[in-house]
Amino acid sequence: MNKEIHQLQPDRLWHYFMEICQIPRPSKKEEKIAAYVSDFAAKHNLQCTIDEAGNVLIKKPATPGFENRSGVILQCHLDMVCEKNSDTMHDFDIDPILPWIDGNWVKAKGTTLGADDGIGIAAALAILEATDISHGPLEALFTMDEETGLTGAFALKPGQLEGRILINLDSEDEGQLFIGCAGGKDTVATMPIETEEVPSGHVAYKVSLTGLKGGHSGDDINKGLGNAVKLMNRFLWNARETFEIALADFNAGNLRNAIAREAFAVFTVPGENEKQVLDFAKAYCNEIREELRVTEPDISFVIERAEMPEMVLNSALQADLLDALYACPHGVIAMSRDIPNFVETSTNLASVKFIDKKIVITTSQRSSVESSKKDVADMVASVFYLMQADVVHSAGYPGWKPNPDSAILRISVEAYRRLFAQEPQVLAIHAGLECGLVGAIYPGMDMVSFGPTIKGAHSPDERLDIASTVKFWELTLEVLKNIP
């Protein structure tokens, strides 16, 4: 373990964060971290229940003198996004995360850090353990599979939770208090791979697009980041038009809720066009570097000879695929008319995979307006219907409608002012939060979400700001102390 991190304050918060980093917790594989949390409850003689979905709920009595205060729920999720650089050897199922300090930040070595939402788990555990923190009746809800399906939050039942105030510990910008979020759904297109023989006289090449930042498909969708799927497809589309390439493989992006940051493709090209396609690749590299020089300074586009593939895509399928990916929207679709500088609706072209003789294209849509969420999902689907793909929408999840008159918001704003002599921002977030589902199951639940500053979430560039983590901790304790 990193001794420097163990020396950070508050010590128990960082102690638990480091312990959490040692425990594998990919989405849908949270059994080890759930066992750790339930063992924690047993060790500290706290009431603990685990529901059918695997959500862990720990209850702690009020501190002396606070027995008549309102009950409050601290809520965070147990899973983490598992992304790594292509040159990093790491098995998220068994290997620990390796945090280290870089200046004012805590980072991980070549992987996501898991501060989303490991720091929320750590805060909840440190509060549950403490004997010197004032609070009313306390519940800590640790949910499963937030990142890939919100299945834990979906499985909550009326009557499970007793409190009527919920503090979600899963936001990523210190100084911002969130009172609303976007809803979302996924749209996945699949089609069978149809192949033909490699044309005579062709040579094979592999192209690799790396070095993009990636990022959260909600929080970062408006930051002008490059999308590896779109950038690779743009190259292939133009190369097909000009040099008669034949595509053999296209593997780009990874997770549905992350902006694609790497892409790889294998194609063949007529031998007489070999020099021209190499010159075109070099020019294209310079072109996208210039376009993205501000937001993506580390972009890399490499072309190299490859082993001759056994087969290539049927020419008609290749044309349909590259046309559809070019036409498929990605990014901000609409800005809010109610909240300044707030993304209302967006879509993320997340990944393209050649898997088990099928092409699988994964996208995700978000909107704080339910009808707009459906509209943009249908827009994406229509593109892939044109190529006769099989398109499936997920059930999706609801948004969280802002309540500017929220009592817990007022308490949180006043606590922030007292502590830091500053005015916090009160915002909605374009990412999905479990508050939307909690609010649907528990109408009238009074909710707020806040956290420390986390940059690069859902990518190996994820980093946790140390100073903001201290402020997050202090704010949480101040809010708990002042809930009547």
- pLDDT tens digits for range 190-220: 999 999 999 999 999 999 999 999 988 998 9
- pLDDT tens digits for range 7-16: 999 999 999 9
Looking at the fold, whether 214 and 260 belong to one and the same domain comes out as: yes
Residue 255: predicted pLDDT: 86
- What share of the chain has pLDDT > 70, as a percent? 99
What's the rounded mean pLDDT across residues 372-380? 97
- pLDDT tens digits for range 96-145: 999 999 999 999 999 999 999 999 999 999 999 999 999 999 999 999 99
Looking at the fold, whether 200 and 252 belong to one and the same domain comes out as: yes
Query: Comparing 288 with 342, which gets the higher pLDDT?
Result: 288
For the chain, the domain total comes to 2
pLDDT score of 1 more than 70: no
Contact 317, 311 (CB under 8 A): no
Domain containing residue 244: CATH number: 3.30.70.360
Q: For residue 226, name the pLDDT band (cuts at 50, 70, 90).
A: very high
Contact 257, 207 (CB under 8 A): no
Of 146, 344, 462, 465, the active-site residue reads 146
Residue 337: predicted pLDDT: 83
- The last residue of a domain, from among 393, 419, 442: 393
Q: For residue 242, name the pLDDT band (cuts at 50, 70, 90).
A: very high
- pLDDT tens digits for range 433-472: 899 999 999 999 999 999 999 999 988 999 999 999 999 9
- pLDDT tens digits for range 65-74: 999 999 999 9
Residue 186: predicted pLDDT: 95
Looking at the fold, whether 143 and 158 belong to one and the same domain comes out as: yes
Q: For residue 3, name the pLDDT band (cuts at 50, 70, 90).
A: low
Looking at the fold, whether 157 and 249 belong to one and the same domain comes out as: no
What's the rounded mean pLDDT across residues 33-38? 98
Looking at the fold, whether 33 and 159 belong to one and the same domain comes out as: yes
Domain limits at 69? 3-182+399-481
Looking at the fold, whether 274 and 382 belong to one and the same domain comes out as: yes
Of 79, 145, 170, 320, the active-site residue reads 79
- The last residue of a domain, from among 376, 393, 410: 393
Q: For residue 173, name the pLDDT band (cuts at 50, 70, 90).
A: very high
Pairing status of strand 56-60 against strand 343-355: unpaired
Looking at the fold, whether 198 and 152 belong to one and the same domain comes out as: no
Q: What is the dihedral of CA 382, 384, 389, 392, to 10 degrees?
A: -60
What's the rounded mean pLDDT across residues 28-53? 98
Query: Comparing 446 with 150, which gets the higher pLDDT?
Result: 446
Domain containing residue 435: CATH number: 3.40.630.10
- pLDDT tens digits for range 397-436: 888 988 989 999 999 999 999 999 999 999 988 988 899 9
What's the rounded mean pLDDT across residues 275-299? 97
What's the rounded mean pLDDT across residues 76-99? 95
- The last residue of a domain, from among 360, 393, 426: 393
Q: For residue 483, name the pLDDT band (cuts at 50, 70, 90).
A: very high
Looking at the fold, whether 312 and 344 belong to one and the same domain comes out as: yes
79 is catalytic: yes
pLDDT score of 2 more than 70: no
Q: pTM, whole model, 2 decimals?
A: 0.75
Looking at the fold, whether 354 and 260 belong to one and the same domain comes out as: yes
Looking at the fold, whether 275 and 174 belong to one and the same domain comes out as: no
146 is catalytic: yes
Looking at the fold, whether 343 and 417 belong to one and the same domain comes out as: no
Looking at the fold, whether 216 and 299 belong to one and the same domain comes out as: yes
